[in-house]
Homo-oligomer: A and B are copies of this chain.
């Protein structure tokens, strides 16, 4: 680790506490700093359009050949212009996407017809520079809502990529899509399949207060494996439910959210549905997306702690989700986590108003393995032991309702004063 470049920004934030599947080899910090990041046939470029003055604010990921693509989008009624445009392009060209272009600093949301024209022209220009068709480009924006996109400056900046000048690393690409993020989020895996190794990598951004208000979250994944569109879409949707949707509340999405995956088939045989390889690839995808999702929570605005809320023993999965989301989204719970206060009464009160049906007297609560509350309101834990768990930067809270078999997990962070600083004057 000593030879990591001094300015390499991902210290322990990216450190690997995840249990990766055995058939995957995640990049070490050293690898991320030194090795080529992108899968075979993918390249990336970054540029400065001057929307954000302190850093590059424009990024493209390009596939040398047409890729199969799938994406999930925000369900917010006020979805942004680039979401509409990307949806249309994906409908038409789900088997021949060539690039993803994304700017930070401006969401191009609540910008009406002009916004749609701007998003289209961003795709057009990208296509022109890369020699692709406009509908082969997915377009994405993140940043302030309601301000027209400075599309001329973006267009000029895109010229930097003409002639194929696309030599940016995963770290650089991840940095270019950051807004209030405090560190770039990226990771690459080599995945062993029956015929050999493929690479799967992803970058993400997002640092909002995840519950109840997610700020814009974006994730772009690329692989050189060969996967047909229906299977790719199915895998992305399923992994999304297990990863990004455990940090967002369904429907509680911002105007620009998007997670997309491109598969360009540069390596090996096609991964067919219902095969061992499909299973192996899926588990790698779910792991990577969960890793990126947890990085987003870890970078929650002002957050100092990453806490997994596990709910079990609910009458149904839906009830478990209600409880997990209400506890994870409770400002009173989140401030108690910040204050390292073992205030289990707030957890119980949040569960009680979640809409799930259970008997409060059969509830038990654990912090990691430490029993905090036993059924019948028995609570005689050691404050010292509780403090030891609560002072960790990552831990879990398990709420057992004692009713049925429904279970769910939601990842949350604490609520600190820095959140107020960051969000009190975001727009100005």
What residues of chain A have their CB less than 8 Å away from a CB belonging to chain B? 75-79, 107, 109-112, 115, 144-146, 208-209, 212-213, 215, 251-255, 329-332, 335-336, 338-339, 341-346, 348-353, 355-358, 360-361, 373, 376-377, 379, 415-417, 419-421, 423-428
In the complex, A79 Cα to B345 Cα: how many Å? 11
Contact between A423 and B339, CB atoms less than 8 A apart: yes
How many copies of this chain?
Answer: 2
Would you give the shortest CB distance from A401 to chain B, in whole angstroms?
A: 11
Would you give the shortest CB distance from A168 to chain B, in whole angstroms?
A: 29
**14 A-B pairs, CB-CB below 8 angstroms?**
A77-B353, A77-B356, A77-B357, A77-B360, A78-B352, A110-B348, A110-B360, A112-B361, A115-B377, A212-B329, A335-B424, A339-B425, A339-B428, A341-B427
The 6 closest A-B CB pairs, nearest first, are: A145-B345, A339-B424, A78-B352, A335-B423, A77-B352, A339-B425
Would you give the shortest CB distance from A253 to chain B, in whole angstroms?
A: 6
Would you give the shortest CB distance from A81 to chain B, in whole angstroms?
A: 10
Given contacts A330-B212, A423-B331, contact A348 B112 (CB under 8 A): no
Closest chain B residue, CB of each to CB of A376:
B112
Contact between A427 and B342, CB atoms less than 8 A apart: yes
Contact between A78 and B420, CB atoms less than 8 A apart: no
Extra contacts, 18 of them, besides A145-B345, A335-B420, A339-B424 (Cβ < 8 A), are A76-B353, A77-B357, A77-B358, A78-B348, A78-B352, A107-B345, A110-B377, A145-B343, A145-B349, A251-B353, A254-B349, A255-B348, A331-B415, A331-B419, A335-B424, A338-B420, A345-B427, A417-B420
**Chain B residues with CB below 8 A from A215, complex form:** 332
In the complex, A339 Cα to B423 Cα: how many Å? 8
In the complex, A329 Cα to B419 Cα: how many Å? 16
**Chain B residues with CB below 8 A from A345, complex form:** 107, 109-110, 144-146, 255, 427
**Chain B residues with CB below 8 A from A209, complex form:** 331-332
Given contacts A112-B377, A377-B111, contact A213 B330 (CB under 8 A): yes
Contact between B427 and A420, CB atoms less than 8 A apart: no
Given contacts A112-B377, A427-B336, contact A78 B360 (CB under 8 A): yes
Contact between B420 and A420, CB atoms less than 8 A apart: yes
In the complex, A137 Cα to B400 Cα: how many Å? 36
Would you give the shortest CB distance from A31 to chain B, in whole angstroms?
A: 36
**Chain B residues with CB below 8 A from A331, complex form:** 209, 212-213, 331, 415, 419, 423
Contact between B335 and A419, CB atoms less than 8 A apart: yes
Contact between A377 and B420, CB atoms less than 8 A apart: no
In the complex, A360 Cα to B332 Cα: how many Å? 32
